[in-house]
Structure 1
Amino acid sequence: MEHIGWLSLVPPVLAIVAALVTKNVIISLFLGTFSGVLILAGGLPLTATKTMIGDYLFVQLTDSYNAGVLVLLVFIGGFVALMEKSGGAAAFADKVIHFLNTKAKTQLAAWFGGIIIFFSDLGTPLLVGPIFEKVFDKAKISREKLAWIIDSTSSPVAVLIPFIGWGVYIMGLIQKEFDGLKITESDWDAFMQAIPFQFYPILAVLMVPLVALTKLEFGAMAKAEKRVQETGELFWPNAKPMRKPDKMVELQNTKSKASLILVPLFVLLVTLFGMLIPLGFPFEKIDGSAFRVALTTSYLFAAIVLIAMMVFHKVKKFGEVFDIYLSGMQRMMTVAAILVLAWSLGTVMKNLGTANYVVEIMDGNIPPYLIPLILFIGGACMSFATGSSWGTFAIMMPLAIPMAFHLDASLYVCIGAVLSGGVFGDHCSPISDTSILASTGAGTDHLDHVKTQLPYALLNGSAASAAFLIAGLTSSVLSLAAAIIIMVAAVIIISKRQKNRNIGIQ
């Protein structure tokens, strides 16, 4: 296999180190890419700079596939901004909030609300949290529990949906590696096939109803629940609740209709599947370009409908609504920059033979069935340290797919391992943006949220690790069932031990 030896490891290692130091994905990806180009340019900085701009960044922007992905992301950004500001989520919650007469129903309602807001992982905490904050207080459920629920329905849900920003971003990374390896399968098919192997996100989402229905709580969360039930205190004495009153007031006071969230999503799905079904979906392979055109059209039509509804219901004036739409589009520029740099880094690593060098080292030394587990743990460590699952995906995917391809490991399991590891580490990290927003949305102390969520995340991470070991051996989707069984059994055992310990203390 062609490579330049250990020097080929410099770009990904530098990108990881830079991410740990700067906590900035764009800077780390830029430094990793530039270091690789510098090596290819023989150590000449000016030549490397010109080559990086002309032969990497510009090339990525002018590629038709890449351009389609970037345009799609812009339309998604505009639609998400409209949904967040429409007040439809709050109005929808008001419709169902009167039926929440038990603790289980209250928790399940917040969980369901988080799943409904699947289109925005960062919007979920700030939309669902303020809506259910007072309801949880009235039901004597801790703010920490609310933060955990909305954190478990943000990125773990978003990473499973192929037609939102997360899915488009991930498919862009997958397709770039497929092109390099001459794999003819579409990025859509690969993403869909990998969903059953996204063990951690699936477990994180499923654990919420498990805990809500069975009251099987443990660790710091059990102590927080006991505090609220016995003393009525919302916070620990030294807690420093995180709040963003301006956003919360805006969301709670907006005069809106539940239809403002339901109708646009209906239009989006009908348009999407209405354009794909005549092409043979889901029984025939759909060209990637046709899929992106259908998805872009769907988001455009849904946005037009939502703009008209917001103006008709006098939620905001047309000028304000259009400004929101444009601001949402502008907000995706950061995502676009990350994606272009990620593509560039992947191309640099391919030219250096980074994956070939890693494969050569691992071939014969590490059994192929261990590769998914290694990718999961490695991705989790990187995501925990950086607080960024997106940055983890960008650096790990160009390594994972070639490793799976050349070492005869399951491609879909390896993709699922990278995605699961990124979300797992992000869920545990105190510097994760979604964790911080979950604390903010629930109005609780951030460190208290991290402490109460960590035992649940570690349990799910352990179950996912065992499942990846099984999946590495079998490549079977039945490994997901094994992960769920392990999670349920562990929760029951831990909870029983904790109850017995409490009885012994009494």
Structure 2
Amino acid sequence: MFQRKSNWLKTFLVCSAVLLLFTVTAFGTEGETAEVTSNMYATFWSLVPPLVAIILALITKEVFSSLFVGIVTGALFYTNFNIKEAFIVMVTNETSGGILIFLVVLGVLVALMNKAGGSAAYGKWASSVIKTRKGALLSTFLLGVLVFVDDYFNCLTVGSVMRPVTDTHNVSRAKLAYIIDATAAPVCIIAPISSWAAAVSGVVEGYNGLELFIRSIPYNFYALLTLVTMITLTLLNFDFGPMYLHEHNAQVKNDLFTTDARPFENAADTQVTGKGGVIDLVLPVIILIICCVIGMIYTGGFFDGVPFVDAFAGCDASIALALGSIAALILTFIMYIPRRVLKFHEFMECLPEGFRAMVPAILILTFAWTLSGITGLLGADVFVAGILQNSTGVLNVMLPVIVFLIAVFLAFSTGTSWGTFGILLPIVVPILDPSSELMVITVAATLAGAVAGDHCSPISDTTIMASTGAQCDHINHVSTQLPYAIMVAAVSAVNYVLTAIIQNWIINLPIAIVSMILVIFIARKVYKPKEL
């Protein structure tokens, strides 16, 4: 009994801290920070705070304290080491409330599906249909490709649906997190109907943003080669680096986590009290997808006469996901209660349970957003933009790869791919001939670099979401995914040099795919794992 009260007390304190942070964030005065002029504005020092957080996270294997140290460092830099003003900067930074609502509601929906028995029923059905590990991995990949509307939604939905299946076939949580992450942003950035396409279209002024986005898809090598890599590694049953250890332990020792850090180990121990079947997992997920899509076109003005594609381009993904998830929760209530799948009090018990499950992700996201905001206040975007503008004098053949590498560095440092292409695209597009194929290639290189850097960064919100969806320790996910992401980024960079010369995707895309597969075969031939 004492242990139970202690756990509730800890949960209450953490939730109170989160709510206090949100409250201060929402009502903080921006005017107090606007008067500060940093001596480090738009210099290399503006990139130091996120680099401090990233390095500490990789060294200490602990993300909360690392992000906090990065935030404090950035606040001190911004206020010229004035401690009082630094505190004000830290607590008045904005957060995306819609995404947080979506996270909480999705946590509640997962808890409901577990308690109703839908997840257990689906796991039994899928296990009878999916007989092999390769089948489980490829099924997870396929679902990730199908859920292309939004990367946040992709990460958490694919994780909650496929986790019982991959666990049955002894797929490590790190490998599941990698598959989820590799089918989130890389799929969304090549899907014309997605929140990412809308974001890209919105930052390109003076051009048909959606048309430019579609033309860039065949040149988005990092996204396309990430998908090729995942399929190839699965078919070859090959892993290397830290991922090999995780997969070996999962298959040989039946240990899905490998490390002592396993914050979600008991997350699936929700007591099943309902009488649900497969439909009680599948239908809520379908409802959630439909409601989120409707939310997107609604916020884009579709019901006010705006064309469907334009509505997607002008949608507010944060608000749309919040509205869609709340609507899905209400419809799930209507679906469960009249059929007596769950009793009313059992349904209500899932509300705090789902919230508690999402507290770690909410805390990490809040810290990551705060750090990103402070990095923006320090003028990191201005500093990087200056580097890019000074690089336009180089030969055209090197411009796409230079933009790609800058985008990788900026996204890695700030943890945001949207912010990266939001900074770089308005610089890249005007300096190139709008009718040239080189502009399309350079735009694609910008988008590809943004996703690549985002994949490598431990402070990326998408990476955090993938860890949460797979219920994998965040640092484990980052450390196991990093070698794969670096390999794909290196092959992409080489192909951007070649593409700037040929400038024909019909030729360049097959070359990129073949070179990626060739590199994987070479790695398989050369790599010799340590004896375990």
> Which bin holds the TM-score, normalised by the shorter protein?
0.5 to 0.7
Superposition map of 1:66-465 within 5 A: 73=99, 76-77=102-103, 80-87=106-113, 92-115=122-145, 119-120=152-153, 123=156, 127=160, 130-137=163-170, 145-157=175-187, 167=196, 171=199, 175=202, 178=204, 183-185=205-207, 194-215=216-237, 232-234=252-254, 240=260, 242-250=262-270, 256=276, 257-258=280-281, 259-269=283-293, 276=302, 279-282=306-309, 288=314, 301-312=327-338, 313-314=341-342, 317=345, 319=348, 357-358=386-387, 361-364=390-393, 366-381=394-409, 383-384=411-412, 386=413, 389-390=415-416, 393-394=418-419, 396-397=420-421, 399-408=423-432, 413-428=441-456, 453-465=481-493
- In 1, are the aligned partners of 2:398 and 2:497 still within 8 Å (CA)? yes
Question: What's the RMSD between the two structures over aligned residues?
Answer: 5.6
1:487 matched to 2:516? The reply is yes
The code of the aligned residue for 1:95 comes to W
The code of the aligned residue for 2:130 comes to L
Q: CA deviation at 1:334?
A: 8.7
In the other structure, the counterpart of 2:30 is none
- In 2, are the aligned partners of 1:127 and 1:251 still within 8 Å (CA)? no
Q: 1:443 to 1:303 in 2, by over 3 A?
A: closer
Paired-residue identity, %: 20
Deviations 1:210-239 (A, max 9, x none): 33234455566567767777xx33469995
- In 1, are the aligned partners of 2:201 and 2:210 still within 8 Å (CA)? no
Mapped to 2, the partners of 1:435 and 1:290 lie a distance apart of 21
In the other structure, the counterpart of 1:4 is none
Q: 1:288 to 1:125 in 2, by over 3 A?
A: closer
1:469 matched to 2:471? The reply is no
- In 2, are the aligned partners of 1:241 and 1:446 still within 8 Å (CA)? no
Mapped to 2, the partners of 1:363 and 1:448 lie a distance apart of 39
- In 2, are the aligned partners of 1:400 and 1:418 still within 8 Å (CA)? yes
The structure richer in helix per residue is 1
1:10 aligned counterpart, secondary structure: coil
1:17 matched to 2:48? The reply is yes
Deviations 1:169-220 (A, max 9, x none): x82x874x55xxxx23476666555554443233223323333234455566
Deviations 1:40-69 (A, max 9, x none): xxx9x9xx99xx99xxx99xx9xxxxxxx9
Superposition map of 1:488-503 within 5 A: 488-495=517-524, 497-498=525-526
Mapped to 2, the partners of 1:376 and 1:486 lie a distance apart of 18
Q: CA deviation at 1:308?
A: 3.1
Q: 1:377 to 1:188 in 2, by over 3 A?
A: same
Q: 1:367 to 1:225 in 2, by over 3 A?
A: same
Q: 1:250 to 1:345 in 2, by over 3 A?
A: same
Mapped to 2, the partners of 1:26 and 1:70 lie a distance apart of 18
Moved more, 429-438 or 208-217: 429-438
Deviations 1:384-438 (A, max 9, x none): 5x5x632x653x4454224313431756544543443344345445777776886
Q: 1:397 to 1:446 in 2, by over 3 A?
A: closer
Q: 1:35 to 1:133 in 2, by over 3 A?
A: same
In the other structure, the counterpart of 1:65 is none
Q: 1:252 to 1:477 in 2, by over 3 A?
A: farther
- In 2, are the aligned partners of 1:11 and 1:35 still within 8 Å (CA)? no
2:494 aligned counterpart, secondary structure: helix
Mapped to 2, the partners of 1:371 and 1:18 lie a distance apart of 28
Mapped to 2, the partners of 1:221 and 1:341 lie a distance apart of 28
Mapped to 2, the partners of 1:79 and 1:162 lie a distance apart of 27
Q: CA deviation at 1:126?
A: 5.7
- In 2, are the aligned partners of 1:73 and 1:332 still within 8 Å (CA)? no
Superposition map of 1:53-72 within 5 A: none
Q: CA deviation at 1:17?
A: 0.8
Q: 1:310 to 1:189 in 2, by over 3 A?
A: farther
Deviations 1:326-353 (A, max 9, x none): 9989988997997799789779969x97
Mapped to 2, the partners of 1:445 and 1:296 lie a distance apart of 26
Mapped to 2, the partners of 1:75 and 1:223 lie a distance apart of 36
Q: 1:397 to 1:438 in 2, by over 3 A?
A: closer
Mapped to 1, the partners of 2:473 and 2:372 lie a distance apart of 34
The code of the aligned residue for 1:120 comes to F
1:260 aligned counterpart, secondary structure: helix
Mapped to 2, the partners of 1:414 and 1:251 lie a distance apart of 52
Q: CA deviation at 1:295?
A: 7.6
- In 1, are the aligned partners of 2:144 and 2:180 still within 8 Å (CA)? yes
2:490 aligned counterpart, secondary structure: helix
